[in-house]
Amino acid sequence: MTDEPTILRSRTGADFLATLPTLAGFTAPDSLLLVPFRGKRTTGGVFRIDLEAFRRSPHLADAADGLVGALRRIPTCDAAVIVICADESFPVARLLWEPLWRALEEAMDEAGISTKDALLQTPDGWGSFYESDLAAEGRPLAEIDQSPLAAEAAESREGKHVRPYDADLTFPDPEPAFATALRDAVILRLDFEEVSDSFGVLSPAPRIDPLVLAENLLARSGPDAVSVPEYAQLIQLCALPATRDQLIVQIAFGRKAGAAVARDNARLHRIQGRTGMSMDEVVESELRAGRKGSADLDGALLGQTRRIPDRERLGRAIDLLRRAVPALQFADRGGPLCVLAWLEWAIGANTVAAALIADARRADPHLRMAGLLDELFRTLSPSWLYDRLQPSSPSTA
């Protein structure tokens, strides 16, 4: 057993494109991808941007400067590969996206970042912008499929399927029995503060310990191992401003971090009692005022912290909420969607996070946290996405 990274040694553009889905962890049609390098090794991450954003904006130089600014946040990055995966035919895409390539290359050069290659892939061909004698129709896609690195990349994934980057934009259809049971349990908890036993006998809902519940749920073998009453408790934590941020931080950074936020929440409750504001208003006021919370956790919700979240915990929580959310009545989805959106944002799935927040605002137009997260996602990326962009498996040399 070894922790050494899998090294996929690309020698041609076809090799690189064959390994790119494994390197990125997803496929990305109609996207611009920037793959940062340190010397001959990738830094272990890939930046993806919708090409549609560039179709709408004529200011390519400004956009390129912004993207290169993201590369410069990686201390070890000294080079990058530009990959444009376009929906148009190869001849059309080559003409359409050449200005974007040139703007990026110029911005990278000014920043001291070299361009290793600039590749274009379309549904009917591929090629490098640097190939002066490239045929109008590009190179055949078979060169990518037949690259010896295609099989090596698949083997390095250990049978795991590479999904499209936007796979989480849609929810699976909920199981009818589960959906009915969860909706009933959530209504009882949120509206009547009651629970029902297996015989339908109602009783007052017991107090939830957020610290205990979150750890219990994250320790389960999967979403199916969680009971309906436990899911209802999770939804209640997501719905309450006093526990929503605590839940997010605990999922990402562990139980001790959740306990620290719980202490901060007690302070916020005291402010609420003193001012008469709602909890959402108190939280918004504190965030906008830049007031600090627990030591080492300042900026955690904003993604501006030196801590790096536990990726496995984030993934488990995402799986739990993705099972629960589509089973809820739409009006009850606002809080859970906020939590789910933050978790997706934390792993770098900005497109998914933005779509989930838009749904949260539709589900509850008065939910302040949805508006705050919407603004956050538009203006900031989590610092840990850059901090952890270091050589990792798989690498491409």
Per-residue pLDDT in tens (0 to 9) along the chain, 397 residues: 233 334 445 678 999 998 888 888 888 889 999 999 988 887 767 888 888 878 876 678 788 888 888 888 887 889 999 999 999 999 999 999 999 999 999 999 999 999 999 999 999 999 999 998 999 999 999 999 898 877 666 655 554 567 777 778 889 899 999 999 999 999 999 988 898 887 788 889 889 999 999 999 999 999 999 999 999 999 999 999 879 989 999 999 999 999 988 888 788 778 888 998 886 687 778 767 766 555 446 588 888 888 889 989 999 999 999 999 999 999 999 999 999 999 999 988 888 999 999 999 999 999 999 999 999 998 888 888 876 543 333 333 3
Which amino acid would we find at residue 177? A
- CA separation for the pair 127, 134 (Å, rounded): 7
Contact between residue 117 and residue 16 where contact means Cβ atoms under 8 Å apart: yes
Residues 6+ apart with CB under 8 A from 244: 237, 238, 335, 338, 339, 369
For the chain, first and last CA: distance in Å? 23
Pairing verdict, β 31-38 and 79-85: antiparallel
- CA separation for the pair 10, 18 (Å, rounded): 9
Contact between residue 394 and residue 44 where contact means Cβ atoms under 8 Å apart: no
Distances (CA, A) of 221 to 10, 316, 317, 344: 37, 9, 12, 20
- CA separation for the pair 351, 68 (Å, rounded): 19
- CA separation for the pair 307, 255 (Å, rounded): 14
What are the contacts of 23-30 at 24+ separation with CB within 8 A?
23/153, 23/394, 23/396, 24/48, 24/165, 25/162, 26/162, 26/163, 26/164, 26/165, 26/167, 27/162, 27/163, 27/164, 27/165, 28/85, 28/164, 28/165, 29/85, 29/87, 29/164, 30/85, 30/86, 30/87
* Residue-level pLDDT at 265: 76
Q: Which of 103, 22, 124 is nearest to 394 (CA)?
A: 22
Contact between residue 90 and residue 124 where contact means Cβ atoms under 8 Å apart: yes
* Residue-level pLDDT at 6: 42
- pTM comes to 0.77
Contact between residue 246 and residue 212 where contact means Cβ atoms under 8 Å apart: no
* Residue-level pLDDT at 342: 97
Identify the structural domains of the chain with CATH numbers, from first to last.
Answer: 7-165 (3.40.140.10), 168-384 (no CATH)
